Structure 1
């Protein structure tokens, strides 16, 4: 089952919480400002997509959904993601245009994470242990505030796509990245 809310949706539709077979939930709402922790009732949810400019925080329960594979949020006003005990089933996280300044430490525990898109935020660092993401294939860090690429990224054999456009790298750092990874700026 899939539910997509209307663009003018102003509040979270609590009736959705009784849809136990729901697999895909798309929340798009100019007035949507919060997501209740009761979202944890959606035990079969595999994809959660949020586009709501008034959201300033997320409940930790989202990341503990046992079947969640894809989490997307765009255009919200987040500075961080909640500390949580994450579901190990998460394969793809896309957090773009949110103002995110830091990533949670639990991110490095996601054994099945294959894609991480953090485009257009305010990140300047990655959490310690990032090298533990052994299945990560795509990492998109475009338009953030990175000045130096973490050493871990040079030692990730499964990483096939790394995008770094629009960061604050010095000429020396760009040269180091080009020498080590073959990425041109």
Structure 2
């Protein structure tokens, strides 16, 4: 994190990224002295409510973060920045997104956790848009112009007030990661969990294993009613809005899908926490497992980041793909979409055993719109096709399997959503490939 003193003294001349959190109420004019080098400007965690009208003087600026400020509108000066491609105004008080605030080269827009009730039709003119994050607003409708966003790959509209999921979204040719839980249409008729409840008093809390946007995961010992002990993972939710949606939706999805060999599944729901915090007991992952990939970067936008020159044996890659296809078949059969099928949410071991986790973007198939179920499932098939392609690019595919796998990747990613295979077919095809390669 940089300081105002560094900025004002000229110490930061020539930097490409500025991170400044200093309870600012006004935009520091000294930032313009960095115009010839500044590409990333992070002003999150201040008290700003506006930006200067001549913000476009930062002619090299590509990324702007203004989360956790006091903005009630996205300033129109943002739309005049010629190189800007990523804009983030998460957790403000934004009620208005003017059409003029949309930069011409916009690829990634984050307006999570605000007060938006409407969106401008001009949003559909942002033809380069790949990621649109709108969870935690007050939207009752989406502009029909979004049907023109043929490059849109990730859409977060969870925890809004949408009475129905627009059909045009389900035809977007590039959409692969969709989260919509917490809207009226998604809550009505959602499947109920049959998972047991576990009392806080029956748990012995251990060390922290990890934490993410929605909660903290501890190791814990669970004393069962018969006196036996079981080592588990306990996720305590923070109760905050994430970019994907709410902890309540994540919990509901975890408890609905239950157990599967390729899922980090929920065992039970926590009750009687002293502070009333919600929580889930999860299967404890063995230390031999590691994360398949890193999350997307500012540069890669919608694609995971893999270590440079990282390779894996074909048999291992095939087993990973087969396991994940089986897990998604299980989820879809229980009326749930994962919404975030990425390598960075998958753990693997050296044998190719794979575990899919992180249900923060999961959603229940809308009970009132059964005609949409197949398309929603096939949106997730595109995400799987991207994952399969990434795996095949990082192994030596035997010549006898190359054409079949290339065709599978093509079918999963084809722009006609309804023509993609489902996970029943994918699971069967990959299981057959594994048998043929054994």
TM-score normalised over the length of structure 1: 0.90
Contact between 2:21 and 2:46, CA under 8 Å: does it hold in 1?
no
Distance 1:124 1:142, change over 3 A: same
Contact between 1:10 and 1:29, CA under 8 Å: does it hold in 2?
no
Q: Matches of 2:146 and 2:83 in 1, distance apart?
A: 23
SS of match in other structure, 1:16: helix
Distance 1:85 1:118, change over 3 A: closer
1:69 pairs with 2:66 = no
1:111 pairs with 2:105 = no
User: Structure 2 residue aligned with 1:84, among 81, 87, 100?
Assistant: 100
Contact between 1:124 and 1:145, CA under 8 Å: does it hold in 2?
yes
How far did 1:80 drift?
1.6
Distance 1:69 1:98, change over 3 A: same
Paired residues for 1:51-62 under 5 Å: 51-62=67-78
Q: Matches of 2:103 and 2:71 in 1, distance apart?
A: 22
Distance 1:15 1:173, change over 3 A: farther
Contact between 1:9 and 1:28, CA under 8 Å: does it hold in 2?
no
How far did 1:7 drift?
4.4
Q: Which runs of 5+ in 1 are unaligned?
A: none
Worse overlay, 79-88 or 44-53: 79-88
User: Structure 2 residue aligned with 1:150, among 159, 162, 166?
Assistant: 166
1:9 pairs with 2:204 = no
SS of match in other structure, 1:129: helix
Aligned partner of 1:167 in structure 2 is: 183
Q: Which runs of 5+ in 2 are unaligned?
A: 1-15, 190-366, 379-438
Contact between 2:140 and 2:162, CA under 8 Å: does it hold in 1?
yes
Q: Matches of 1:39 and 1:65 in 2, distance apart?
A: 7
Aligned partner of 1:37 in structure 2 is: 53
Aligned partner of 1:182 in structure 2 is: 377
Aligned partner of 1:101 in structure 2 is: 117
Larger Rg: 2
SS of match in other structure, 2:111: strand
Deviations 1:7-53 (A, max 9, x none): 42232112112321210001123422221212121111100001233
1:120 pairs with 2:136 = yes
User: Structure 2 residue aligned with 1:22, among 23, 30, 38?
Assistant: 38
Worse overlay, 54-63 or 154-163: 54-63
Contact between 2:160 and 2:182, CA under 8 Å: does it hold in 1?
yes
Indicate the RMSD between aligned Cα atoms, in angstroms.
Answer: 1.9
Worse overlay, 8-17 or 89-98: 8-17
SS of match in other structure, 1:113: coil
Contact between 2:22 and 2:46, CA under 8 Å: does it hold in 1?
yes
Contact between 1:18 and 1:41, CA under 8 Å: does it hold in 2?
no
Pick 1 or 2: higher relative contact order, CA cutoff 8 A, min separation 6: 1
How far did 1:123 drift?
1.0
How far did 1:174 drift?
4.9
Q: Matches of 2:18 and 2:109 in 1, distance apart?
A: 20
